[in-house]
Structure formats: C-alpha cells, structure tokens
C-alpha cells in the first residue's frame, strides 16, 4: 500500500508540472508523453527501485521550456508550484474521503491506504518546496531573490543536490517536521477531523 501510494503521489505530482506547462503554452511535456496520468510515463527506473530498497525515491522531472511559457517572469514558478499543490490537493482528498465516509484510518485496508496516501502527500508537498535543486522550491528563488543575490542560485545549482542528499541520509530533514505536522493538521482541521 505504501509503494502504491508513493508511485501515484509521485506520478500525479509530475503530471501537475506537465499540465501547468501545457496550459501556459509549452507543448514540450505533451510531446514527451508526460501529459498523462499513467504512472509508467513519470517514474524514473532508478528512483522507483530506490523506493523499494530504501524507502526514498524520485520520479522523472518534467522537462519544459521557460521561454515558451506565457508568463516569462512567473511561468516557471507556476510550473514548479503545480507539483506541491497537487500533493496538497491529493492529501485533502484523502482526508475528505476519510471524514465523509467515517473511515477509521487504523481499522481497515482502505483506511490504512488513505492514511498512508495522506501522510505521504503532505510530506512530498513540504519536502519539494525546499529551495534546493532539483526540488521545486529552488525555482521559486529566481522570483524572490533580488538580482544582486542571484549568485545564491548558481551556488545551489552546483551544490544543492549534494546538500539535499546529506540532509536526507544524515537526518537533517527533521527540521521540516514542524512544517509537515502543521500542514497535515491544517488539512485535517479544514476537512472536519
């Protein structure tokens, strides 16, 4: 159930990126077959294997052309935000199903799946907003950083992945736990839990 949750959460996250780019006029994701809900089109072979081996993995990033987007200043940020926003939407839907149908998240297979799906999507939303390449949050820096601070982006492009791996494998990710708990609590409150 956890593996299915991860596969679909990652695939729908990437689909949202592709859809956001397509809606802004960039047909590259469509041409590469990424504008689909089929998980097989979004999964990275090594990233998928890592999910099963170590419980942490990734999907294939959606390639798009910022120059082809209708908004030159905000287009790339909109594409980047689409993935985490999809995860928030999926977490909200899981919480709504649990609430509307009064499903106990600990007493049934359906409840257990929805609990995993909810938790995983909240985690993915927060994690992907970290401002480290290749995560979605790194694209937001280009909007919020003043021009004289753009050197930070070049540094992160060069070393961000190494920093990210160090955080993941040496437990440094714990500092986002309050954000994960806060977002999860907010969604549960809004959905009547």
* 28-39: pLDDT as tens digits: 999 999 999 999
Q: Which two tokens stand for residue 45?
A: 């072979």
The domain containing residue 178 runs over which residues? 2-190
Residue 166's pLDDT band (boundaries 50, 70, 90)? confident
Question: Has residue 154 got a pLDDT over 90?
Answer: no
* 54-82: pLDDT as tens digits: 767 789 999 999 999 999 888 999 999 99
How many other C-beta atoms lie within 10 A of the C-beta of residue 29? 23
Domains contained in the chain, number = 1
State the Cα–Cα distance between residues 91 and 177, nearest whole angstrom.
Answer: 16
pTM value?
A: 0.91
Is-contact 64 79, C-beta < 8 A? yes
Higher per-residue confidence, 162 vs 147: 162
Listed residue (134, 113, 127) closest to 8, CA to CA: 113
For range 100-123, the mean pLDDT: 94
Residue 169's pLDDT band (boundaries 50, 70, 90)? confident
Which ranges of 41-108 would DSSP assign to H, the alpha helix? 45-54, 75-100
Kindly list the catalytic residues: 14
């Amino acid at each position: 159930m956890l593996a299915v949750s991860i596969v679909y959460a990652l695939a729908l996250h990437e689909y949202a990126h592709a859809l956001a780019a397509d809606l802004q006029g960039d047909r590259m994701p469509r041409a590469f077959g990424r504008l689909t809900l089929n998980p097989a089109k979004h999964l990275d072979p090594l990233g998928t294997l890592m999910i099963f081996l170590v419980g942490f993995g990734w999907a294939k990033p959606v390639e798009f052309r910022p120059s082809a987007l209708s908004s030159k200043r905000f287009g790339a940020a909109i594409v980047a935000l689409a993935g985490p926003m999809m995860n928030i939407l999926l977490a909200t839907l899981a919480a709504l199903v649990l609430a509307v149908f009064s499903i106990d998240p600990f007493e049934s297979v359906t409840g257990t799946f929805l609990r995993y799906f909810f938790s995983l999507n909240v985690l993915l939303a927060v994690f992907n907003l970290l401002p480290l390449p290749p995560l979605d949050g790194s694209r937001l820096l280009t909007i919020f950083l003043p021009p004289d601070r753009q050197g930070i982006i070049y540094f992160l492009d060069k070393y961000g992945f190494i920093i990210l791996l160090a955080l993941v494998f040496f437990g440094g990710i714990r500092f986002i736990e309050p954000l994960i708990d806060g977002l999860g609590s907010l969604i549960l409150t809004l959905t009547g839990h």
